[in-house]
Structure 1
């Protein structure tokens, strides 16, 4: 069994895993809504599962929340980079912009 940093095999009453709630809300609002919502749904389950004694379920929910939050953030990064590249391409195709760069 994999050793988890928040829980030793002898002590199941350690502190709960990070729930990723704030990060997933930020991803939902600013980055990519579908992945952010999945992150929020999983993040809200972490503390309640931990309090109910479902330690493995809490760790699983925390891992899923982290995964969806990170996926949403990286999708946003990729979409932003593609959008910026397209914007720069269109801008360089504009005659006025070319004259601004090379006045001859």
Structure 2
């Protein structure tokens, strides 16, 4: 009699002991940076985050990890772009205020 591997866990169930866990898809960060920060970069982050679970389910573990890291990277870029634009915005009005006072 041949050994048949156990079926994969049902959605929402924990995998068997010792089975690898899927990487964090960073979807929350992607959505937050899309809504609160830079929209175009946040959309890319959401797309990358959405790829993680489907790649994991298909058995592409390296691809799932790469998509998770890409989603995190794009979320950080989105937050960083907003921070830089915010600083430039404040600097613009400071310079404008100094120039108008002279």
Which residue pairs with 1:27 in the alignment? 33
Give 5+ residue unaligned stretches, structure 1: 1-10, 99-104
Q: Which runs of 4+ in 1 moved over 2 A?
A: 91-95
Residue in structure 1 matched with residue 88 of structure 2 by the alignment: 82
1:41 to 39, 43, 47: 47
CA distance in 1, matches of 2:23, 2:93: 41
Matching residue of 1:14: 20
Shift of residue 93, structure 1, vs aligned partner: 3.4
TM-score w.r.t. the length of structure 1 is 0.74
The runs of 5 or more residues in structure 2 that have no matched partner are: 1-17
Indicate whether 1:62 and 2:60 are aligned.
Answer: no
Q: State the TM-score, normalized to the length of structure 2.
A: 0.75
Question: CA RMSD, aligned part only?
Answer: 1.6
Measure how far apart 1:63 and its partner are: 1.1
